[in-house]
Structure 1
Amino acid sequence: MITTEPAAAAKRALVIASEVHGLSGCRNDAELIGSALRGYGFDVQLLAERQATRAGILGAYEDLIEASRAQDAAVVYYAGHGGRIQGGLRAHDEPEALQFIVPTDIDDTTSDDFRGILSDEMSVLQWRLTLRTRNVTTLLDNCHATRMSRDPLPRGMHVRGWETQWPVAAVRQRWADVASQVRRLRADHPDHCWYDDNPHAVRLVACGASQQAIEDYVAEFGSVHGLFTAAVVTALENGTDLTWHMVGERVRNRVLTRNTAQRPDCEGPTNRLLFSETTRARPAAVPVRVDPATATSWLDGAALHGITVGDEYLLCAAGSPVPAAGRVGVVVDVRGGAALLRMRDHAPVPAGQEAHPLSSRRPAPTVRLRNADLLPHEWLDRYRAALPGLRTEDDPPGDDLAMLTVGTAGVMLHDAAGRSLYERPRPFTEDTAARLGSDVDDLAHAARLRQLGPDSFAAPLEVPVAFDAIAVRAGGADGSVEDAVLHPGDRVRMRVRNLGASEGPGRTVYAHVLDLGVGGRVSVLNTAEPSGIELMPGETRALGRLPGGEDPGLPLSWPAGLPADGPRFETLTAVFADRPQSMANLVRAGVGNVRDFVVPQIDAGQYTLVKVTFLLCPGGPVCEHV
C-alpha cells in the first residue's frame, strides 16, 4: 500500500500490469517502467496477477489519492488490454461507444457486475488526484478502442486490445455511477471544472482511439515489451531536462519505425518538465515529411500554417532542444497543399526532423502609426524594427491590420475598426516594442485563419462533414451560434459529424475545433484528443462531454486585459482532415495574455473546414442587447 509521506514533496507511482488473454509482455513492461521511475526517485507500487483486479486497481488508486499532497509527483501506469463497447448503449445521454481497461478478473464479469474499468472511471479518479496535486502523469500502454477489423500483424506481434460481448445493463450501471460522481465533484469544486480534458494532468498514450498498441520482442531489453513502453523507457533513460512534448516526439518516432499503424500521443500540459509543474516556453515548429521514393522533404498543411515560397526553417531532430544554429532549409515550391523544402547544403534530410521558422516571405501586416510627431525620435526606428509593416499617416492608404496611436503617456494599439486593444497606454520601453511585435503577429495569425475556407486547400477532403454549435444562454432559450450575440456566462455546445455512409467502406475523418477569439486569441478546443476527434462514417461526437455524459458546453468569457468597450466578433472553425495530426502550433495567446507557444505534429493530408461566427459582448453598461 502507498503510504502518506512527510510534509516534503514525495514521488509516488502506481504501476499496473494486467497480463491476460494472450499477452506476455505486461509484467516485463511494469518492471521496466518501475525501474526507470525509481531512477527518478519514485516510490513504486506494482500491481500484477491477482493484485491487478478491478477492486485491486481501484483500491490502489484511492490510496494514491489519499496519500498525495500539493507539490507531490504522482504517476499512474497501465499495461494490458484495452476494450471498447460499441452499439447497444444509446439510452439516455450515453455515447456511441465506451472504452475501458481490462483487469485480471475480467472473466468474472456477470450480467450485473462488469469487471472492466471504464475510461470515464479513470478520468474521475485522475480528476480527484489533481485536486490533491497537479503534478500528475498518466502512461497507458493499451489499445484505446480496438476495432473488429484489423490488418494482419507480423509474426510475434500481439495486439493489446480485446473485444467480446459485454453485459449492457452492468455497463450502464457503471456509467450511471460515474455520472453521479461527476455531479458531486462539480458541486463540491465549482472552481475546478474544466472543458474537454483535465488541464492539470499529462497523459502519454500508446495509440489513437482506433489504433492497435503492439507488444513484440525488443532486442534492446531482451524480452517481450509493448513498443510504447520500450520507447518511453528509452526516452526517460537517455535524456535530461526534457519536457513531456519532447518525450512524446521521441516516443512517437521510435514506435512508428516499428509499427506505422501505431501513433502515440501526448495530451495535457506537455510543456512541463518531466514529473514537474515547471513549464518551458518554446517556439512553434512543423514536422518534416521525407518522401523515401524521391528523397524530397516536405512541410504539410501549407495553407493552415501560412507557408510561402522563400520561407526559411532551422531543422533539428524532433523532441530535441532547438539549437542556436544548425541546418537551414528554404521553401522552394508549394504544391498539392505541401511546401517543398530544400536544404542550403543540398544534403538529404533524415527522418524524424522538425522545422523551426527562421524567416518568412509573407508580407508584413500593415500597422498605421498616428500622431507620429509625439513619438520620441529614437523610438521610431525601434518600433519599425519590431513592426516591419509600420506606416505613418503620410504613407499611401492600405489594408491596415491595426493602428498604433501615440500619446504623451505612451502608445495604444487599436484594431482595424479603431477599438482599443490595451486598457491603458504602454510606456516607451523596449518591452513595449517587443510586446507590440508579438501582439501584431498574433492579430495577423488570427486574421489569416479567419480568411481560410474550404477552397483554401489544394487537396480538399472528399467526405461530407458537419459542425453544429448551439448557444446555451444563461436564463434564456438555446439557439444557433451563427450571427448570434452572446455574453460572458453563456455557453456553446459543439458537435462534429462525419456524414459519410455508415454502411460500407466509408472513410474515417479527424476533427479539430479552433476558437478564433477576440483580441487575436487562437485556441484548440479538442484538448482531450489533440490529434483530432476520430469520426467513423455516420458518427457524431460532442466536444467537452464530461465523464458520465453531461455536456455543459464551452463557457464564454471576456479576455482579461482587453477593454470591455463593446461587442467583437469571435469565430469557431472546425477543421476536418483525413488522418490524425495535431494543430497545437496554431495556438496564440492574443493581446494582453500570457504566451505559451506549443509544438505540433502535423502530417500530410486532405482538409476542409466549417465556420460559425458570432458577436461576443462584454455586457455591462456598454451592452445594448436584450
Structure 2
Amino acid sequence: MTLRAVLIGAQTYGLTGVHADVELMRRVLTDRGFTDLDVRVGERARYAGITEGLARLQHAIRPGDGVVVYYSGHGSLSGGLQYLVPVDMHESSPADFRGYLSEELTAAVRALTAVTPNVTCVLDSCHSGGAVREAAYESGRWALKAVELPRVPADAGLARAALLAGLDDPLVPNVVRLTACEQHGSAYETELRLGSGRQGVFTAALADLLDATAGRPVPWSTLVARARDRIKRQQIFQWPDAGGPAGRLPFCLEEPAAPERLPLLRREGRFRVPGGAVFGLGPEDEVSMVFPDDTRWQEGQETSVPAAVEEMDAGDAVLRVTPAGVLRPGAEELSSAVVPPGSYALAVRVHDRRQVLIDAVGPFADALREELVRSPRLAEAHGPDEAFAVVRVHGGRPEVLDRTGLPLRGPADPAYSDASGLVALLDELARGERTRWLRDPRDSSRLDARPDVLFQARRSTGDGDWHVLKPMGERLYDGDVYRVTVGNRSGTPLYFWVLGVGLSGRTALVTNDQPSGYRVEPHTHRRTAPVRLYWPSDVPEQGPRTETVHLIVGDRRMDLSALASREAHDRSARTADPALDALLQEVWNGLRDQRMDGGEEFHYRVWTVHADALPRTGQAGT
C-alpha cells in the first residue's frame, strides 16, 4: 500500500496563508507515512494544473492505496455555480471559464474511489457569494476582511457543469470529507506567532491534532470535533465538520468500535446535553461527563465525572453532578469551569432499556447475562412480549431473531463468536430500535414552525416516476430510491437531518455529509438527492423487514452524528452511498450564522415513513 496526496494551494485575492497551509500539510502527511506528495502551488495551481494533478493521482493509485485530496484557497458560489478558485481565475472568458467546478471535483473523486475506498478530501475554503476566505487576527479577535472576487463570464462554466452531473446522480461512497466551515459560511486565516505570517485556522488546528494523536486510535470525527472546539475558543465564527465515514482512523479504512459520544456544553452554570431528547435521554438517566486534557493525549488524561439527567429543558437534557462525582478528585473544579474542548457525555444507564430474551441455557447464556448487566441500553426480558430480540442457540451456534422470528444476521456473523461480541451487536440493534420509534415531541421541545414535507420513492425497475410515500404500509425493494423535500414557510432559517434505520437494524445519518444539519432559508425549499435502499450482505434475504426514514427539522444546528451506527459495513458495488447532494455539497458543509455554545434550547419535529423492505428476488408474487 502506498499513501499518496495531491496538495493544492491557490493563494489569490488577498490570501497570504495558503502556501503555509500546504507546507504544513505536506509535513504532517510525510510524518504519517505519505511518500507520493504532489504539491500544486503558484503556477501549478492554475485550472489546468489542478486538473492535471487530480488526473495524475488517478493514474498513479492502485487498489489498497490511501489517498488525500487537499485544497486551501478561495471557493465560490456564484451564478448557479460552485467552484474552487485557481490562480488563473481572472483569465476566464465567455468561452473559457477557469473555475474548478464542483462537478469536476465530484468526477475526480469518484474516479479515485473506483480504485480504492480509502479517500480523504480536505477543503480549507468556503463559498459565500464572492467573499469567501478572510483573515482573523489581533490577539484572538476575529474580523472580516471582505474579498470581492471579480466578475467573470460564467457561460462556459454553466455549459461544462451541465455536461458533468445531474441532481439524480448517485453519490460518491467511501469519501471522508473534512471541511473548514459551513456551506455558506466563511473560513479564516489567523496571524501566526512572532509575526511570521498567516495560517488557515482549520488547517492549523487539524495539523496540530494529527501530530498530537500520532500512534493513537483517534477517529476523524473526534479530531474534527476537537478542532471545532478549539476554533470556537478563539471566538472565530467557523464550524468545521466531518462527513462520510468519519468514524475511520486517519488515512485508513479501520473504524474502531466506539461508545455513543453525546455533545456536552455548559450554559448558565449548568451542564447539558443539547438535543438530549433526540438521543433518547430522560429524567434520572445516568451519564458520565468526560473532560479530556486538550494538551495531552496519553491514556489516563481524561477526567470522568458521574452525572444524572435532572430535567429536560425543551429538547436539551440538563445534568446534575451526582454525589459520587463531587467526591471525585478534580470534579469540583470542573463543575465550576468552562467545558474544556473535546468534552462529551456517555450514557451509563438509561430509562429506555431494550429487552432481550435469552432462549438458551449453559455457559454461553450465563456469559451473555453478565454482559447484559453492564450494557447501558439493554436488559434481559422475562417473556417474549417484552423482547425486541431473541437469542437462541441453533445447531450449536447462537442466532438473533427479531419480533417476527426472522434472523437479523447470517449464521457466519463474527459477532456470534462470543458473548461480548453478541452484546455489542444487540446494543447496536437496540440503538436502531430506539431510533426507529423516535416520535414527534408533544412538550416544550416541539418546534413551532410547520414546514412543508414530502417523501417520494422511485422503483428501480419502473418507469422512473416518483410517487408519494405514505407514513405506513409502503413496500420498497432492494435498489429502489427515495428522496425528501423540505419547504420552509417560516420567517427564520430551519435545519434538517434525514435519519434512516435500515432493514438490518443499523442506523445511518443519511445527511452524513452535513451532520450538523442542512439549512433551509425562509420561504425556500431543499430536496435531497436520491438515497438507494440496499440489502446488506450479512442479512438473510427474507422479508418483509422494516425500513424507517425519519426527517428531523429543528431550529438550530446540532451535530447528530452520534445517532449513527459506528461499525463499518459492507456495501456491494450495486449500492449507492446514502448521502445528499453532489460531492461539493458533501465536502463544503454547514450552515450560516453560527451561534456560540448553543445559545438556545433545541426545538424540533419529526416526520416518519415506516416501509416494508423486500429483497428484489422476493418481489414476484408479493
Contact persistence 2:226–2:342 (CA under 8 A): no
1:64-83 equivalent positions in 2, closer than 5 A? 64-83=57-76
Match of 1:231 among 205, 223, 247: 205
Match of 2:607 among 599, 610, 620: 610
Match of 1:486 among 471, 475, 479: 475
Whole-Å Cα distance in 1 between the matches of residues 252 and 133 of structure 2? 38
- Name the SS for the 2:126 alignment partner: coil
Whole-Å Cα distance in 2 between the matches of residues 32 and 54 of structure 1? 23
User: Quick check: 1:311 aligned with 2:286?
Assistant: yes
Per the TM alignment, residue 358 of structure 1 is displaced from its structure 2 partner at its CA by 5.5
1:449-460 equivalent positions in 2, closer than 5 A? 449-455=435-441, 458-460=444-446
- 1:495 corresponding residue in structure 2: 484
Q: 1:318 to 1:488 in 2, by over 3 A?
A: farther
Per the TM alignment, residue 253 of structure 1 is displaced from its structure 2 partner at its CA by 1.7
Contact persistence 1:513–1:575 (CA under 8 A): yes
Q: 1:575 to 1:164 in 2, by over 3 A?
A: farther
Per the TM alignment, residue 142 of structure 1 is displaced from its structure 2 partner at its CA by 1.0
What's the C-alpha RMSD, in Å, of the aligned pairs? 3.7
Whole-Å Cα distance in 2 between the matches of residues 494 and 315 of structure 1? 38
How many aligned positions are there?
A: 567
Match of 2:111 among 120, 123, 128: 128
Whole-Å Cα distance in 1 between the matches of residues 412 and 52 of structure 2? 56
Whole-Å Cα distance in 1 between the matches of residues 567 and 61 of structure 2? 36
- 2:81 corresponding residue in structure 1: 98
- Name the SS for the 2:255 alignment partner: coil
Whole-Å Cα distance in 1 between the matches of residues 616 and 21 of structure 2? 55
Whole-Å Cα distance in 1 between the matches of residues 2 and 183 of structure 2? 33
Contact persistence 2:8–2:45 (CA under 8 A): yes
Contact persistence 1:82–1:102 (CA under 8 A): yes
| CA offsets 1:21-80 (integer angstroms, 9 cap, x no match) | 222222232233333333334444333333321112212222222222233333322221
User: Quick check: 1:518 aligned with 2:492?
Assistant: no
Per the TM alignment, residue 167 of structure 1 is displaced from its structure 2 partner at its CA by 3.3
- Name the SS for the 1:366 alignment partner: strand
| CA offsets 1:428-482 (integer angstroms, 9 cap, x no match) | x984533443344334323322332222563333333243322211333542232
Contact persistence 2:188–2:200 (CA under 8 A): yes
- Name the SS for the 1:236 alignment partner: helix
Contact persistence 1:99–1:145 (CA under 8 A): no
- 1:205 corresponding residue in structure 2: 179
Contact persistence 2:473–2:612 (CA under 8 A): yes
Contact persistence 1:23–1:158 (CA under 8 A): no
- 1:585 corresponding residue in structure 2: 562
1:57-456 equivalent positions in 2, closer than 5 A? 57-86=50-79, 97-146=80-129, 157-158=143-144, 162=148, 165-179=151-165, 196=171, 198-219=172-193, 222-241=196-215, 242-291=218-267, 294-308=268-282, 309-317=284-292, 326-336=303-313, 337-343=315-321, 344-345=325-326, 346-347=332-333, 348=335, 349=337, 350-357=339-346, 359-369=348-358, 375-376=361-362, 378-387=363-372, 389-392=379-382, 399-405=386-392, 409=396, 411-422=398-409, 431-455=417-441
Q: 1:239 to 1:75 in 2, by over 3 A?
A: same
Matched residue type, 1:463: A
Q: 1:413 to 1:117 in 2, by over 3 A?
A: same
- 1:189 corresponding residue in structure 2: none
Per the TM alignment, residue 335 of structure 1 is displaced from its structure 2 partner at its CA by 2.3
Whole-Å Cα distance in 2 between the matches of residues 460 and 149 of structure 1? 35
| CA offsets 1:84-134 (integer angstroms, 9 cap, x no match) | 025xxxxxxxxxx43211111111122232211112211211121233343
- Name the SS for the 2:278 alignment partner: helix
Q: 1:518 to 1:335 in 2, by over 3 A?
A: same
Matched residue type, 1:450: R
Matched residue type, 2:559: S
| CA offsets 1:133-161 (integer angstroms, 9 cap, x no match) | 43333221111344879999877745697
Q: 1:74 to 1:369 in 2, by over 3 A?
A: closer
Which segments of 5 or more consecutive residues in structure 2 lack a partner in the other structure? 327-331, 374-378, 572-589, 591-596
Identity %: 26
Whole-Å Cα distance in 2 between the matches of residues 179 and 407 of structure 1? 50
Q: 1:20 to 1:364 in 2, by over 3 A?
A: closer
Matched residue type, 1:217: E
Whole-Å Cα distance in 2 between the matches of residues 29 and 206 of structure 1? 12
Matched residue type, 2:346: P
Matched residue type, 1:139: V
- 1:52 corresponding residue in structure 2: 45
- Name the SS for the 1:518 alignment partner: coil
The more displaced of 347-356 and 223-232 is: 347-356
Contact persistence 2:9–2:72 (CA under 8 A): yes
Whole-Å Cα distance in 1 between the matches of residues 133 and 347 of structure 2? 43
| CA offsets 1:257-311 (integer angstroms, 9 cap, x no match) | 22442011122332333333343332221121122xx332211111111123241
Per the TM alignment, residue 333 of structure 1 is displaced from its structure 2 partner at its CA by 1.0
Q: 1:457 to 1:228 in 2, by over 3 A?
A: farther
Matched residue type, 1:414: L
Q: 1:171 to 1:623 in 2, by over 3 A?
A: same
Higher relative contact order (CA 8 A, sep 6+): 2
Contact persistence 1:83–1:162 (CA under 8 A): no
Contact persistence 1:466–1:610 (CA under 8 A): no
Whole-Å Cα distance in 2 between the matches of residues 472 and 412 of structure 1? 34
- 2:492 corresponding residue in structure 1: 507
Matched residue type, 2:515: P
Whole-Å Cα distance in 2 between the matches of residues 583 and 386 of structure 1? 28
Match of 1:35 among 27, 38, 48: 27
Q: 1:209 to 1:390 in 2, by over 3 A?
A: same
The more displaced of 154-163 and 347-356 is: 154-163
Per the TM alignment, residue 484 of structure 1 is displaced from its structure 2 partner at its CA by 5.0
Contact persistence 2:308–2:319 (CA under 8 A): yes
- 1:190 corresponding residue in structure 2: none
The more displaced of 49-58 and 334-343 is: 334-343
